[in-house]
Amino acid sequence: MKERKKNKKNINRNLYFIIILIYFVFIAYSYFFGIPSGIEIGNNLISFLLYMMKILPCAFILIGLFEVWVSRERVEKHLGHKGGLRGYVWAIILAGTMGGGLLVALPVSSALYKKGARLSVIFTFVGASAIVRIPMTLFEASFLGIEFTAIRWLASIPLIVISSIFLEKYLIKKNYSMKS
């Protein structure tokens, strides 16, 4: 059984490797022989990679500092099972003031989880990082109007919190634990 699982994992890894290889061969070929679609895809890759590389290294260093300097007790007290409603408020404030969206929120949430934050707070945080980021919200309000943004906030924040609580209940029953 274990052997078979290991085999499957190996096949998956090889498949990934082949897909990535084909992709890069295609991109290289396109640049070399001037195939427009391949060049455009390659340019997309580079511009997105550069955009992320501006944010991610800082984010990971900040996460590392957080893990060494902030005590488990403190995280548990505010974001754990003892935190109560306050935990959700903190999660939303943290998500709102943090940049980078989901790709930064995910490693942060895994660091919080390791320090004892409860799952519902984590899901609220990840959900909120998609919808309440302040810079993004200002942008939205200036293009679509304040009313649009206000309704979106008022409707989506409670839904995120409620769904996170239910998701936590379901996952506790299933003995779920997050990878790290």
Interface residue list for another protein (CB under 8 A): 16, 19-20, 23, 37, 40-42, 44-45, 48-49, 51-52, 54-65, 67-69, 99, 102-103, 106-107, 109-111, 123, 126-127, 130-131, 133, 135-136, 139-140, 142-144, 147-148, 151-152, 155-156, 159-160, 163, 167, 171, 176, 178-179
CB of 3 to another protein, least distance (A): 22
Task: Using the minimum distance from each CB to another protein, give the nearer residue, 82 or 103.
Answer: 103
Taking the complex as a whole, the smallest distance from the CB of residue 170 to another protein amounts, in Å, to: 8
- Name the minimum Å distance from CB 92 to another protein: 14
- Please say which residue, 118 or 133, places its beta carbon nearer to another protein: 133
- 117: region left, alpha or beta (phi > 0 left; psi from -120 to 50 alpha): beta
Alpha carbon of residue 126 to chain centroid? 6
> At closest approach, how far in Å is the CB of 54 from another protein?
7
Nearer to another protein, 44 or 82 (CB): 44
Nearer to another protein, 17 or 82 (CB): 17
